[in-house]
Amino acid sequence: MSILASPETKASKAAVFALARSIEAQIPNDGPLPGILDYLPQDSLVAESVRYFHHYIWLNAHYFVSDENILHISDNTDAVLAKYRGGDKRWYLVVVEYPSDMEARLARTDFAIHFLPEMELEPVAQIEDSTWAGCRGTGSILAVVFNAPARETAMGILDESKRSSNRKNRASAARNPDNRREEVCVMDDLEKKGLTRRDFLRASSTAAIAGALFGTGLGDPRAAIAQAVEKKTRVVLVRDPAFSTRRGTSSLKRSSGCSTRP
């Protein structure tokens, strides 16, 4: 539960605290903390800043991101926001856990399209106010950093969140050995073939995916990926630099090396 007062004054702050204490007194037992808190790096964390929620409005209440729900936060996701401090600098980490890996990838795509189109070659990029933002997905977990003072800060917190995610995934796999199968698309010797992996961050590219896979002219990237989810299809597209660019286009190839492995 969150209680906010706007604008905040001494009187409104006192009233909010009194109301919170009254509500807390009526809760008979302490419940377990949400598991998603395990993905928060502890170094430089401002402990009292942690916020757990299921609606993007609460994210915007503490750190405005967008008028739209570009991270796809819903009743079916767990989300947490935390503030980090280093000297006089402040930055923020949002971690969201989705029902599936595909939904996490869809959210990452939407975030890149609408908030950080510069994020093509690296998971972080510098934005207009000279701070750094970025995101990285690990399975069904998406970690997003905002307002980082330097590239190293942004990369560092994403790296640490990923390590926390990997540790938790390994522990979960050990408890559930029958569920340790992961869908992968195998692409052999990309560098030898002169191919580079490309994340399709713009609507026009994803529309091309939709047309290539489903024979449709879907212009909405979310519709294309939703259809891929429905068909349980995972696709990796790459750009072939050797393809003639005289027509101003790139070669789009469908990876046929999809497999399932333990």
pLDDT digits (tens, 9 = 90+) for 119-133: 777 899 999 999 999
**Shared-domain flag, residues 235 and 122:** no
**Shared-domain flag, residues 118 and 215:** no
Classify residue 15: in a domain, yes or no: no
Classify residue 13: in a domain, yes or no: no
Classify residue 47: in a domain, yes or no: yes
The per-residue pLDDT for 165 is 76
Classify residue 7: in a domain, yes or no: no
State pLDDT tens for residues 83-99.
999 999 999 999 999 99
**Shared-domain flag, residues 126 and 43:** yes
How far apart are alpha carbons 228 and 226 in whole angstroms?
5
The per-residue pLDDT for 8 is 84
**Shared-domain flag, residues 53 and 172:** yes
State pLDDT tens for residues 4-37.
777 889 999 899 889 989 988 898 888 888 999 9
The per-residue pLDDT for 212 is 45
Classify residue 250: in a domain, yes or no: yes
| pLDDT score of 224 more than 90 | no
**Domain hosting residue 164, numbered range:** 30-177
State pLDDT tens for residues 237-251.
444 444 333 333 333
How many domains is the chain built from?
A: 2
The per-residue pLDDT for 44 is 95
How far apart are alpha carbons 187 and 239 in whole angstroms?
13
The answer to whether residues 190 and 197 touch, using CB atoms and an 8 Å cutoff, is: yes
Give pTM, 2 decimals. Answer: 0.62
**Shared-domain flag, residues 168 and 230:** no
Highest mean pLDDT, choosing among 63-67, 163-167, 205-209, 235-239: 63-67
**Shared-domain flag, residues 136 and 114:** yes
The answer to whether residues 113 and 202 touch, using CB atoms and an 8 Å cutoff, is: yes
Classify residue 87: in a domain, yes or no: yes
**Shared-domain flag, residues 161 and 215:** no
**Shared-domain flag, residues 163 and 107:** yes
- Tell me which H or E stretch contains 111: helix 101-114
Q: What is the chain's mean pLDDT, rounded?
A: 74
State pLDDT tens for residues 185-195.
333 443 444 44
